[in-house]
Structure 1
Amino acid sequence: MLNITLTRKYMHLINSETSNYNFPKCGVYDDGCHLVEFIRNHYGQDLKRTSASTSLYETKFSVDRTHFKGHVGRWCRANMNPYKNEMLNGINTQAAEQLFSWVKNYANILSSLGWRRMPIYLLLLFHYKNLERMSIRPTHVFNIASSVPFTPTVSLAHAADTEQVSKYKEQQKQKKTFPLTTEETSCTKLETEIGVKQQVSKQKQSKKKTFKVADMNSIQNLVKKMEELVNKEEKKEIRQRNRKERKNQARINNQQQ
């Protein structure tokens, strides 16, 4: 009878093998001994012999160094020892446990987000973690748009900008080809005046807001706005520091007198 947990793990590895076509020669798993036993017992029987399953069958698995202390079985100690696996020399096999320990600090936040918002939060969380690890500022712009191949089924930011530009040009062509009548022109003017008034009122209400809608139209505008805000904050801190130094100097002068 197949073990459900090990079957799911096996299917996950098989899907990784068939999707990437570049499965590593070595793997680390906290319950690697049971996984290897499961593969060896069912390979060629319940598990069909394929290129993916054969590659997985030949993969060298070891238990990570954190959990290996608790594996006391004779076969496990002899065959799953990470310290005897030369392919793991210099490899941090505890990376997953260390990252999990760090993510646990955000457990309360993640549990309150729900399944829709949590993946987005995790994506941003790991992104900023990587930036911190590589000493890169959050406002840094990665020039990846030019290196991403055009894929019709994928919606990217630069692809969306290109589509908006093409739609705008198409609208301009249609306006020249089919000019508006007098009634349509008057209605358009009225709608424009109403829109301008509404926009002015919204601008008055949102003067205290840091970002405007125009700043969010493109990544370049957003980064430029964030840099301006950073420069303002830096200048503000410098002014406050200089003011504090002048006050301290004046206090020292008064005490000396």
Structure 2
Amino acid sequence: MADVNKIVDDLRAEGEVLDALVADLPDDRWATPTPAVGWTVAHQIGHLAWTDRAALMAATDPDAFAAQLTEAWKNPYGFVDEGAEAEARRPPRELLADWREVRARLAQVLLDVPAGTKLPWYGPPMSAASMATARLMETWAHGRDVADALGASTEPTARLKHIARLGVRTRDFAYSVNELTPPAEEFRVELTAPDGAVWAWGSEDATQRVSGPAEDFCLLVTQRLNRADTALRATGADADRWLDIAQAFAGPPGTGRDSARTEVAR
């Protein structure tokens, strides 16, 4: 069973990494375009503030979240952009302060969710540990967008294991949102961690296999990197197909990023 305390600690750490990138950023730099077409640094932080607030609502007021979800699905391909746009119009210092408050509250609330409780979301309901993992995944992915926009270097850490595990666990979800039937066979996934260790999931005897750098896999399943630009290897037609549609985030299929790095899924 996943250790929610460890995941929440890592979620907090990932938030601090991104916070440090924008904490002293002059107001005008918040308008810097990021790799996500139409999204500035302010949109990226605004999106995180909006989704962290939604996660907090899901954990503390499921009825209110259900009402918000009903409204969101009236515009399934636009509500994410609308939320980010509204947040990005706020003064940067106000937005940053709000994101800090919301993410701190969310981290504490997730620690207090009773065992066995499933939290509603835009995809399948999730445990507190899964919700914390999803928030870590989004924080890391949008943090990469901000770092790329600001020309800041990023170092992969062991926290990537949470994101890689989520990418593996969401295999069937990626098929379903693309209106495809998930393969019946389990896949073997072997990824090289930042420290050189191997993270593995699935049967060693599986014929469908994926291997390569863990960072590349995490960038792929968050659709921050085109598959052609990764060092990932697939063995078997089903594994090969999965790498074309892999998606660790909830919602409709992402558009991904082309090999020229001109567009990224939000």
How does the TM-score come out when normalised to structure 1?
A: 0.19
Larger fraction in helix: 1
Higher relative contact order (CA 8 A, sep 6+): 2
TM-score by length of 2: 0.19
Larger radius of gyration: 1
| Bigger proportion of residues as strand | 2
